[in-house]
Amino acid sequence: MRYKELYEMRMRVIVIFLIMIAGLTFLVAARPLAVSMMEEMYKDFDQIPEALQRLLGDPAMVQRLADDSFYIVSQWQGNNLGQFLPIVVLLIAFPVFARETDKGTIFFLLSRINRSTVFWNKVLTGFFVSLALIIVLSLLGPVFMMLGGYDATFGDSFAIMVHQVISVALLYFLFTIFSIVFNDQIKPVITGIAVVLAMPFASLIDALSFINIYPYIMGESIINTGKIDWTYSIVLSLMAVGLLFLSYKLFEKKEF
């Protein structure tokens, strides 16, 4: 059954991978221009509105970007890959059950294979594929820099990867719930996108800022302090386990 799942998601995974690789290639190719572009952006930093200052971040970043390892970690994992991670996970998770329900193929599986086997095979295959995709893409950042002739190391890549692996788990199991609850393929996507878009807005309210996991995904604390945010990591991991358990219960109760 795992082979069927892999076979069905192969095109999606290949397309996502190629798009992300194209982005990474561009990022490495743009390396010589990056510092001068950033210096230009930060030139009148003191005169721009405070909201825009917050958006641009710390001006000290510009100096640190001179380091190749910091450049790739901050601009790839801490920026491009981090920003797209929720969408990548959504694209893999949303059809896991919704497509089978929508197309009526779920009857073929549920009449022949026990519900728990169907659930674990489908959920875990998609989960490990998402995980593998993000791990490979994370590590390809420094590798591409080295191939481009730059003096980059893996540096904080592994630490940010820990954040991103936990984020994949949390988001994947959340999107799996949408895939179980809805009977078509559109609603899980729309709900997933709504969640992804709502996260940055939540941070505008202090009491809800913990909902916004974007800074965590992009390794903000690691880039700033060099340390993994263990407390938040543990909380998000527990939430991921809770969502997995909830999705199993929902699938067990669902009628088709």
Partner 1 sequence: MKVETTAAISIRNLKKIYGKSTIAADDVSLEIARGKITALLGPNGAGKTTTLKSILGIIHYQGEISVLDRDISDVRSKVSFVPEEKSFYDSLTLEKAFNICAMILDEFDQEKARRFAETFDLPLKKRIRSFSHGMKTAAYLSIALSENADIFILDEPTWGLDPIRRDEVLDIIAEIASNGKTVLYTSHIIPEVERIAEIFSIMYKGRILYTGELASLATEFRVFEMPSRSPVLEKERFESELKRKDKVTVLSNDPSQWERVSSVEGVSSPDTDLQTFFHLLIRGSSHEI
| Residue ranges that bind partner 1, judged by CB under 8 A | 1, 3-4, 7-8, 103-105, 107-108, 110-115, 253, 255-256
Of 8 and 67, nearer to partner 1 (C-beta) is 8
If you count them, how many residues does the chain have?
256
Q: Provide, rounded to whole angstroms, the least separation between the CB of residue 251 and partner 1.
A: 12
Q: Provide, rounded to whole angstroms, the least separation between the CB of residue 119 and partner 1.
A: 13
> Tokens at residue 241, please?
């386990």
Q: Provide, rounded to whole angstroms, the least separation between the CB of residue 106 and partner 1.
A: 8
Q: For 5-42, give the secondary structure using H, E and C.
A: HHHHHHHHHHHHHHHHHHHHHHHHHCHHHHHHHHHHHC
Using CA atoms, how far apart are residues 244 and 250, in angstroms rounded to an integer?
10
Of 6 and 35, nearer to partner 1 (C-beta) is 6
Q: Provide, rounded to whole angstroms, the least separation between the CB of residue 186 and partner 1.
A: 18
Of 68 and 100, nearer to partner 1 (C-beta) is 100
Of 104, 86, 85, 243, the closest CA to residue 178 belongs to 243
Strands annotated E in 21-164 = none
Of 43 and 103, nearer to partner 1 (C-beta) is 103
Q: Provide, rounded to whole angstroms, the least separation between the CB of residue 20 and partner 1.
A: 23
CA distances in angstroms from 71 to 61, 107, 141, 157, 160, listed in the order given? 9, 50, 10, 11, 14
Of 110 and 135, nearer to partner 1 (C-beta) is 110
> Tokens at residue 66, please?
């001179």
Q: Provide, rounded to whole angstroms, the least separation between the CB of residue 104 and partner 1.
A: 4
Of 15 and 147, nearer to partner 1 (C-beta) is 15
CA distances in angstroms from 126 to 84, 123, 135, 162, 168, listed in the order given? 17, 6, 14, 19, 11
Through-space distance between the first and last CA atoms of the chain, rounded to whole angstroms: 20
